[in-house]
Structure formats: structure tokens, C-alpha cells
Amino acid sequence: MSEGPARPRLRIAWVEEWMSTLAAEILPDLARRHDVTYVTAGEELPAADLVRVVRGRRRRHMNLAGFELSRRVNRLFRDGLIDLAMVWASIGFGLRRVPFINLEGTSVYAEIGLFASFVPWYRRARFLTGLLHYALPEMACNRRTARVIVPSEALKRDIVRLHRLPDERVAVVPHGVEPEHLECYARKAPGPRPGILFVGRLHFRKGILPVLREFVRRRDIDADFYLAGDGPDRAAMQETAAGDGRVKMLGTVGREALKSILTATQVFVLPTYYEGFGLALLEAMASGHACVCYDIPVVREVLGDCGALVPLGDAAALVNAVADLVRDAPRVAALSARAHERAGRFSWDDARTAIDRIVRETILELEAKARSGPRSAREQKPEGSGPDRRRIEGPGGREPWGRPIDFR
């Protein structure tokens, strides 16, 4: 039986400041289907068959990195080397005339609004720096992009609301779970005492310092508390935990060490105030943990009813829930089993297929839009009028790709 004509290969620039988990998972497959140029300021590369790697200089501030990487992508498009850019975390806010898809993992704009609501109006000026450095690039990208891809319905609602986008312009493609994390569940064995785990940045946004303070105050909890990660709250957390042998500050841990910790612990805490998805939560679910989290929309979406939720910001309630679980091994086992089963539904294969489909749909839409739109006098310049013609006709025309594309 004939399989039909091969689907056309597109020329895509994947743009990010440094390698993301999404790039590591998606690009090996995407590069088999399309010609991918990887544009980055980092050293690490995905294990993919890339057409070329374009490196920008590493910058101290995200804004400078964005201008640097955007400039390089603009040149690739101007020279007819790419059809489309895929931009991670709004880093491509300086793109000009380049058709692109924005891949958002979170919304700093929404997060700043949330934290600003916690303080009186006269103390909100301190959030202006975050607005300038992160929220404005997010606005610029999301309001100019052809499509936005996000990992959760919760994040989609924020992106649509904050940037006034039509619902159909934002696609939800959940992250997947890695088999090695699912495999941790079968290797779990009861230890001499329960283990509680936090994995993430030690930062006020993650809410872990108030939880640690409450845990240290509760000497009745007979369990070890493992904290994997680093960040600006590390010194304060070390001071808080000084003298408490139950607290294990692990710092940044490698992949293999993390798998060992996931296997050895039973309860996972996620006291974050805002997340776009919560990949650490999914990994904890996959490896079989009873998860205790603040009740926020994305946690309800990912965790479902397979864990314990407490009111946002209530560290005492969260530690109380942890204390109850530590004393109830059968409930921990039941929640762990349900969380493990639910995590298995999140598939990177599904994500790869969905992203390829969205890329192809976006190119079709751009091409149709360009063909149906009015042609200006400048657009009707004759063949051979130079590179300016390519820039004017923009996304969707034949000239930016240098060849006709048949999507049938």
C-alpha cells in the first residue's frame, strides 16, 4: 500500500538562551522531520541532527541576550535560510518580519501580578524591574507571534487574558514524563524513616523557606526533609535548619543522584505560588510520591485528586498535611500509586507529534494569509529586485523559503 507523498521538510530555527528540557525532548524528533538550526547563547546542545548551530554571546541580562539572538535569526531569515522560528520563553522579542511560534513555559507577567497583589500599592514599585526585564519581552513576543504553545490549560488562560489573544491562537501541549522516572516507582523500598522531598530553586517564588521554618518548628515530625536545589534563599535556609539533623540541604544534584533521591523518599512538597506546568511535580508523581502542594490551578490540572492540596501560602497547613502523611503509611502508598498511574498519561511522544502538527498548520495559515492579502506596489516589484523583495512579502509567500511548498 502506498504511504502517499512525503511530507515537506521545513527549515526551522529553534531559539533559546540555553538548552531547555523541551529542546532536549522535542528537537531530536523535530530534526528528523525538518531542517533545524539551533540558535543559542549556551554551550549545551540537544542530541539532534542539526543543520547548523548559531551561537550568540552569553549576556548577563535576558534582554541583551534576546536582542543578540534575534539579530542572528533575522539574518538567517533575510538570507533565506529558514522558513520559521520557534522561540523559547519569549527570547525572540527582537525578531523583525520573521514568522515565529512562541513556546511559553510560564508567564512572568502573571507571576508579577500575583506577587504584587500580596503587598500594599505603595510597595509595588519594586516589581517594575521585573516588568521591564521579563514582562515586556513576554508581551512583545506573545502579541506578535503566529502561534503560542503552552504546557497547560491554566497557563493558556493567563496568556489569553493578559495578552488579549484569541483562544485558537494558543495551543496546549503538555510536557511528558520520562521512562526513567516511572521506573523509579518499582525500585522504591521502605527506609528506616520517612523521607520528604523538595526539588526546585531556593527562591521566594517557590515558597520553600516558610515551609522549612514551619517544619523546623515541628519537632514532632519524625522524618528527614531533603531539599534539592540552589538559589538566593539558600543562606537563609541553612541558617533556619542549623542544628536540625532531619534537614538535608543537598544543593544542585545531578540526574543520577536525583533518581536515587526520588527512589528513597515518599512525600513530595511543592509550595510554589505560580507554575506554568510543574515538571518537578510530574517527576515526583511518576516516581511514586504522595504530593502535598498549594492549591493553584496548574497543580489541580497536573496532580488531579492524587495528592493533598492546601490553601495558597499557608505553610502551616502544608506542614500539617505532611505530618499527617508521615504517620499514615497506607495513605502514602495509595496516593503514590495513583500519582504514578496518572503521571504515565503524560507522553513526550504525544508532545512531539502535536508540535510538528502545529508547526505545519502555522506555515499553512501564514501562506494562505499571504496569498489572500492585498499586494502593495512594493510587493509587485519584478524578479531580481534584490533581497528587499523577500523581506516585504513576509511569511507565507514563496520567496522567503526560496521554493514553492506543497502541503497536500
Alpha-carbon distance of 296 to 271, in angstroms, equals 10
Q: What is the pTM of this model?
A: 0.87
Q: Are 229 and 270 in contact (CB under 8 A)?
A: no
> Options 3.20.20.140, 3.40.50.2000, 3.40.50.720, 3.40.50.300; which CATH number does 11-176+348-399 get?
3.40.50.2000
Chain CA centroid to CA 110, Å: 15
Place of cell 511548498: 405
Place of cell 496532580: 303
Place of cell 538548552: 19
To 10 degrees, the CA torsion angle through 393, 396, 398, 404? 180
Q: Are 128 and 83 in contact (CB under 8 A)?
A: no
Average pLDDT by stretches of 10, the chain with 408 residues: 63 96 97 97 96 89 84 96 96 94 95 87 79 84 96 98 96 97 92 93 96 97 97 97 96 94 97 96 98 98 97 98 97 97 98 97 92 58 39 34 33
pLDDT at 329: 94
Does domain 179-343 correspond to CATH entry 3.30.530.20?
no
Alpha-carbon distance of 292 to 271, in angstroms, equals 8
Q: Which grid coordinates belong to 407?
A: 502541503
List C-alpha distances in Å: 173 to 10, 104, 342, 370.
Answer: 21, 11, 17, 27
137 contact partners, CB below 8 Å, separation of at least 6: 62, 63, 66, 90, 91, 93
Q: Which grid coordinates belong to 73?
A: 535569526
Alpha-carbon distance of 24 to 175, in angstroms, equals 12
Q: Are 105 and 276 in contact (CB under 8 A)?
A: yes
Q: Which grid coordinates belong to 356?
A: 510538528
Give the helix ranges, DSSP H, for 125-254.
Answer: 128-130, 136-144, 153-163, 179-187, 208-217, 234-241
Equal CATH topology for 11-176+348-399 and 179-343: yes
Q: Are 170 and 148 in contact (CB under 8 A)?
A: yes
pLDDT at 63: 75
pLDDT at 30: 97
3-state per-residue secondary structure call for 234-281? HHHHHHHHCCCCCEEEEECCCHHHHHHHHHHCCEEEECCCCCCCCHHH
List C-alpha distances in Å: 407 to 188, 243, 381, 394, 395.
Answer: 49, 66, 27, 19, 15
- List beta partners, residue 87: 15, 102
pLDDT at 6: 58
List C-alpha distances in Å: 231 to 32, 159, 204, 242.
Answer: 37, 27, 9, 18
User: DSSP letters of 75-102?
Assistant: HHHHTT--SEEEEETTTTTT--S--EEE
Parse the chain into domains and list their residue ranges.
11-176+348-399, 179-343
Alpha-carbon distance of 26 to 88, in angstroms, equals 12
pLDDT at 381: 44
pLDDT at 148: 98
Phi-psi region at 402: left, alpha or beta (left = phi > 0; alpha = psi -120 to 50):
left
Alpha-carbon distance of 326 to 339, in angstroms, equals 17
In the β-sheet with 267-270, what is the strand arrangement from edge to edge? 247-251, 224-228, 195-199, 267-270, 290-294, 307-310
Give 348's DSSP letter: H
pLDDT at 375: 55
User: DSSP letters of 370-383?
Assistant: HHHSPPPTGGGPPT
